[in-house]
A = this chain, B = another copy of it.
Amino acid sequence: MSSRKKAVVLISGGLDSATIMAFARSEGYELHGISFDYGQRHHFELQAAEKVCAANNVASHVVFPVDTAIFRGSALTNDIDVPHNRSDDEMSGSIPVTYVPARNTIFLSIALGLAESLGAHDLFIGVNAVDYSGYPDCRPEFVAAFEAMANLATKAGVEGQKIKVHAPLITMTKAQIIQRGVELGVDYSLTHSCYDPSPDGISCGECDSCLLRLKGFADAGAIDPIAYQN
């Protein structure tokens, strides 16, 4: 039995969650990864999550299936086209077409259940309000409200062991996240960000997620180690 404090880390396989897992590891937590299979168009993200967990020597990693039938109206899970080559202007200011209803609420809630069953009081999530300002559930006020709710929802909270939702990337730019990750030794070659990869998993280089990633590496003065189609 480890005597280290346990943390539940939400790990998508993207670069933010890989950074957050390295961050939690650097703080000395025993790591428990949780990923969600919510009917993504492809499974490269979940394969990346598995690799990132292995690279961080997690104590456990669970993939939780979330039935996608209720997630109607999102380009990530149905047949609406993923937009390509949108400008920064087009990406900001409105709710993106890739929005999944209540996604972070659902994912954090299930992670909270896992935390309670493990006796963990710390959740780590790589949400970011800067590059994805259109997602209501990526904002600091959402994370604070979830944490307040979690402390009223659980045995741990009731018994005075405060549940903490750590989201240290939330006000960082993509470039700052990558710089921090490089300092922490994150191997970004293991991560996957593309919404629309080739059948063999090569990133398109043109969807919103690829564009933000590429701009982040460029702004950070770092080299993105993954391959791109374009």
A contact set with B: CB distance below 8 Å: 62, 64-65, 67, 69-73, 95, 99-106, 108-110, 112-117, 136-137, 139, 141-142, 145-146, 148-150, 152-155, 157-158
Checking B71, B95, B142 against A153 with a beta-carbon cut-off of 8 angstroms, the contacting residue is B142
The closest CB in chain B to the CB of A149 belongs to B145
Q: Among A67, A71, A115, find the residue whose CB has the most chain B CB atoms closer than 10 A.
A: A67
Interchain Cβ contacts under 8 Å between A and B, 5 examples: A101-B116, A105-B113, A109-B110, A137-B153, A142-B149
Whole-angstrom CA separation of A34 from B100 in the bound complex: 18
Contact B67 A67 (CB under 8 A): no
Whole-angstrom CA separation of A114 from B67 in the bound complex: 11
Whole-angstrom CA separation of A96 from B71 in the bound complex: 33
Whole-angstrom CA separation of A145 from B99 in the bound complex: 23
Contact A105 B149 (CB under 8 A): yes
Q: Chain B residues with Cβ under 8 A from A157's Cβ?
A: 136
Add 17 more A-B contacts to A65-B65, A95-B158, A106-B113 (CB < 8 A).
Answer: A65-B67, A72-B117, A73-B117, A95-B155, A100-B113, A101-B115, A101-B117, A103-B113, A105-B112, A108-B109, A109-B109, A136-B152, A137-B153, A142-B152, A145-B148, A148-B148, A148-B149
Q: Chain B residues with Cβ under 8 A from A137's Cβ?
A: 152-154
Whole-angstrom CA separation of A157 from B110 in the bound complex: 22
Q: Which 10 A-B pairs have the closest CB atoms?
A: A101-B116, A102-B113, A145-B149, A109-B109, A102-B112, A101-B113, A142-B152, A106-B109, A137-B153, A136-B158
Whole-angstrom CA separation of A27 from B211 in the bound complex: 48
Q: Chain B residues with Cβ under 8 A from A110's Cβ?
A: 70, 102, 106, 109
Whole-angstrom CA separation of A122 from B141 in the bound complex: 22
Contact A149 B146 (CB under 8 A): yes
Q: Among A72, A108, A113, find the residue whose CB has the most chain B CB atoms closer than 10 A.
A: A113
Contact A105 B109 (CB under 8 A): yes
Checking B69, B71, B152 against A141 with a beta-carbon cut-off of 8 angstroms, the contacting residue is B152
